[in-house]
A and B are shown apart, each in its own frame.
Chain A
Amino acid sequence: MTSTEPTIATAAPVKKQLTIKVFGLGGCGGNVATQIHSSGFGGAQLIVLNTDSQALAQCPLPYKFNLGLKLNGGLGAGGDPERGRAAAEEDEARLRELCTGVDMVLICAGLGGGTGTGAGPVLARVAKECGALALAFVTLPFDCEGSKRMRQARLGLEEFKAAADGVICLPNQKVFKLIDENTSVIETFATTNELLAQGVRGIWQLVTRPGLINLDFADLCAVVRDRHSESSFASAEAAGPHRVKEVVEKLLENPLLDGGAALGEADALLVSLMGGPSLTMAEVSRVMDQINRHCENAHLMMGAAIEEALGERLTVTLVASRRSSRGTDLPKVAELDTAEPAPAPRAGSDFDLLGSAIASKPQARNPAVPFSPEGVAVAVAETEAGVVAPAPVMASRSWRSRKKVKPVHPELGLETVTTGPFQHSEPTRHNGVNLDVPTFVRRGMPMN
């Protein structure tokens, strides 16, 4: 095995200073971590975890760890979340070691495949058990990747939400709105990776930079801790005399915020403004005014900081978190059947937002492809009965639960057609509520 045994300095002593670790999980996570690393990021330790030794070997980062070496033999999870999960559980002690003494764990993963979808929630749970604030940055696959991956991804998202403090989610499909027709595949993936990286960097800046109106780790905790929510993340930048107007417009146009709809849905909001020394109080207040107007019911926290390097530019970073109605009462990730209460019909399409595409794709084309997942599982089971005994069982359970969740999809579809003939006209919004959606639906009146 081309084992890439961890070179991690496991001694992460509890310091006064905030300790942050960024985990890149699976193929996508690895790419995002590389992206974060390449754009210069000294603030936190980057660790790449994967079940696939080959992919891991290609990753230029120093700290990496191969999950489930015994179970999968370093061949990847074959797109099966069950195997990803089993791999993570095998190395749970190791993960615990990595997370000990860390204040904040940021997990980057692409959902839909094996490792990110399966191992991610385990890592989030472990991180939380170690007392860290666990935030996940995940992507949902492109629509064209097929409904199976999407289904896996949605289950994974629900598990993530149950395990982590907060999940910031970007459906890759939404990235299409950010790029034009002629964007190459590489650029598309770069865009989506950059978005996730931006998210991680934004959060990091938020909690580490001192500001005039300071937002610190405790504030972030207040917004996300134990909410098990899914969040939207967006940032915008503008310069010039009309920068306030522009920056707010850009934010609201951001597909990641669903054209401002995510703000109306949010029940907690974290806004960070950063500008050059010329930032005026009036500007801060105008930005906040406009944002406030879109989310009157939300618990809002703001921070403002001066960054010399920004000059005339003004950047606004926004994390909107929406408590998932059903996510909170999900049992622990370990029980796979969580999938069943999960099918919150709204949980998906419209409200989760961030993402990076790159990784989900390469992951799909991992060298593990020649093996069918079952084939590998059986082979391993025969050789190493001790370890693998539960594996086939779990695989079958996952298959069953996936099947049960099937009827969820039509419901997701219905949610989007409720505005009927008004779909193409400007939505009528009132305090963030779309009045085009039938009143009885919004009020939850049951019909016979």
Chain B
Amino acid sequence: MLNLFFPKKTTVIVGLEIGTAKVAAVVGEVTEAGGVNIIGVGQCPSRGVRKGEVVNASLAAEDVRNAIVEAEKSADVEIASVYLGVTGGHLTSLNTHGVFASVSLDHEISQQDVGEVLANAKVFNRPSENYVLHSIRQHFTVNGQAGIVDPVGMLGEQLEVDLHVIHGVTTRLQNHMRVVKGLNLEIEDTVFSGLCSALALLDNEQKQMGALVVDIGAGTTEYVVYADGVIKHTGVLAVGGDHVTNDLSYGLRMAPARAALLKREHGAATTEGAAGQTLTLTSENGFPDRRVDLHDLRRIMVARLEEAFQLIDEEIGEQGFHDQLRAGVCLCGGGARIRGIEKLAADVFGLPATLGRANAVGGLRSATDDPELATAVGLVKYGAIRQKGQQSVGLVGKLKHLAGSLGLF
């Protein structure tokens, strides 16, 4: 009935991630049953991005166009709008708390009160140049009773809410958006990449048990902590695969391109079995030209990766999340392709670590199984959740549900 007035939006959802190493566009559709199917993928090496942030807009635009065109061909659809993943070292997150007190003890909490308390929680101290990317509901507390998901209709005097807020420097976020808008693509929403990866990899059970998702990209490493079914903590470390490559190129004294090749072919996150082995590299004309100590190569890689994990470990340790992560650590991103990375992660975090697969998403297995595409697949899933929210409720409840669905994924 409602659809007469608000025609149903297209069910094709596109997730676009402008990464440091590659631009990825993933096309998905929402099935009858409400699931998500990946129907097309487009990728292009990225040249205009460093540490997750756009530094050369024209190159980035070119790469995005190529990726989108490829995705259109692959899925046989026309892409008009995308969900855009953003990241960068400038993003900061924090948990805020909002309080709303009504006049009487037997006050029935209304939708309006929920709005008030959310507004209250959104008032926090942030630099004026920053833009709030997400404010995600965690749990409500009614008269001291914690862990309430939907307080509407309950009786209570004092309503509290916890929010997880992610904010970043407006101008830097706009760099991404301008690139996409310059190609006449509409942006449905901008989403923190780490959030998307978590969305793609974790199922509800893992979210309830508590899990840490680490997305090791080329320029940045994002991490997200889920516990009790809600997002507890997020963060970005502007260290990624490019740093590994640079370390190798510096330590082994070779060009970065060659170091990158070595990293992919002989790299591993362990020094086991590498002692005393040497690699003979060949020059362009096929003659052996120099030797590299495999042990050194591995040590350089391990040092960098271990440090990155340690920094994340310190961060989540400070917040006291360690004993809440019963589902362990889930790795994705290009860095998850490094051999032995899950073992290293398990050692550093002291938790079981696995490579993440986008299990809850159907369709092209090549896309859902690829750890590098986790963010883009997650973006599609995010879009699906959002659209479902928009379709199923009336105009009044639309906004409310939107926020609610974010809190629950």
Contact = CB atoms under 8 A, between A and B. Distances in A.
Interface in A429-448: 430, 435-436, 438-441, 443, 445, 447-448
A420 B300 CA distance: 16
B352 interface: no
Nearest to A418: B250
Contacts of A420: 246, 249-250, 256
A407 interface: no
A415 to B, nearest CB: 11
Contacts of A439: 247, 300, 303-304, 306-307
A425 to B, nearest CB: 5
B221 to A, nearest CB: 10
Given A420-B250, A435-B238, A425 B50 contact: yes
Interface residues of B, number: 27
Interface in B221-248: 237-239, 242-243, 246-247
Contacts of A205: none
Interface string B281-304: 000000000000101100110011
Contacts of B303: 438-440, 443, 445
Nearest to B242: A421
B311 interface: yes
A448 B251 CA distance: 10
Given A422-B246, A425-B55, A440 B239 contact: no
Contact of B296 (A419, A436, A441, A448): A448
B238 A428 contact: yes
A430 B249 CA distance: 23
A438 B251 contact: yes
A289 interface: no
Contacts of A448: 293, 295-296
A430 B251 contact: no
Nearest to A428: B238
Contacts of A445: 299-300, 303
B55 A436 contact: no
Given A439-B304, A445-B299, A445-B303, A426 B89 contact: yes
Interface in B289-335: 293, 295-296, 299-300, 303-304, 306-307, 311
A420 B296 CA distance: 19
A447 B296 contact: yes
B47 interface: no
B51 interface: yes
> Which of A426, A440, A445 counts the most chain B CB atoms within 10 A?
A440
A419 B239 CA distance: 12
Nearest to A448: B293
A422 B242 CA distance: 9
Contacts, number: 73
Contact of B51 (A425, A443, A447): A425
A435 B244 CA distance: 11
A303 B256 CA distance: 48
B89 A428 contact: yes
> Which of B50, B53, B243, B300 counts the most chain A CB atoms within 10 A?
B243
B235 to A, nearest CB: 11
Contact of B247 (A425, A428, A438): A438
Contact of B250 (A426, A428, A430, A441): A441
A436 B243 contact: yes
B296 A438 contact: no
A420 B51 CA distance: 13
A426 B51 contact: yes
A426 B53 CA distance: 10
Given A420-B250, A422-B246, A448-B296, A438 B51 contact: no
Given A445-B299, A447-B296, A422 B50 contact: yes
B300 A440 contact: yes
Nearest to B295: A448
A440 B307 CA distance: 10
Contacts of A440: 247, 251, 299-300, 303-304
B304 to A, nearest CB: 5
B68 to A, nearest CB: 26
B338 to A, nearest CB: 15
B327 to A, nearest CB: 27
Interface in A105-130: none
B378 to A, nearest CB: 24
Contacts of A430: 237, 311
B35 to A, nearest CB: 39
Interface string B249-261: 1111000100000
A422 B247 CA distance: 11
Contacts of B252: 447
A441 B303 CA distance: 10
Given A445-B299, A448-B296, 14 more contacts: A419-B246, A425-B51, A426-B51, A428-B237, A428-B238, A435-B239, A436-B243, A438-B247, A439-B247, A440-B251, A440-B303, A447-B251, A447-B296, A448-B293
Interface of A: 417-422, 425-426, 428, 430, 435-436, 438-441, 443, 445, 447-448
13 contacts: A421-B50, A421-B246, A422-B50, A425-B55, A428-B89, A430-B237, A435-B238, A439-B304, A440-B300, A445-B299, A447-B252, A447-B299, A447-B300
Interface of B: 50-51, 53, 55, 89, 237-239, 242-243, 246-247, 249-252, 256, 293, 295-296, 299-300, 303-304, 306-307, 311
- Nearest 7 interchain pairs by C-beta: A438-B247, A428-B238, A439-B303, A420-B246, A439-B304, A440-B303, A439-B307
